[in-house]
């Protein structure tokens, strides 16, 4: 039931660069948070920031050290 999820869109981009990829972080009341980026492993954690940081480490390993993962502003995610 997707209505039970709170979802935030996340984006991957180099510092001061264009978007490379996008994914999501979802809140699941039973398991905490779950995040995903295409082509990379799922990440789980107790907080949204913990999951974002784990996804950023995976993105850095894949794309290079100059990328960041950030939560998209609501205006873009809607």
Q: What is the mean pLDDT of the chain?
A: 86
The residue among 42, 54, 39, 48 whose CA lies nearest residue 7 is 48
Tokens 């609501």, located at residue: 74
Q: Is 61 helix (H, G, I), strand (E, B) or coil?
A: helix
Q: What is the mean pLDDT of residues 63-71?
A: 93
Q: What is the pLDDT of residues 23-57, one digit of tens each?
A: 999 987 777 999 999 988 889 999 999 999 999 99
Q: What is the pTM of this model?
A: 0.82
């Amino acid at each position: 039931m997707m209505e039970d999820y709170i979802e935030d869109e996340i984006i991957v981009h180099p510092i001061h660069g264009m978007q490379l990829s996008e994914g999501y972080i979802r809140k699941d009341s039973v398991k905490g948070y779950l995040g995903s980026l295409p082509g990379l492993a799922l990440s789980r954690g107790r907080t949204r920031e913990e999951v974002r940081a784990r996804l950023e480490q995976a993105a850095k390993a894949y794309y290079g050290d100059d990328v960041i993962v950030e939560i998209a502003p609501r205006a873009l995610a809607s």
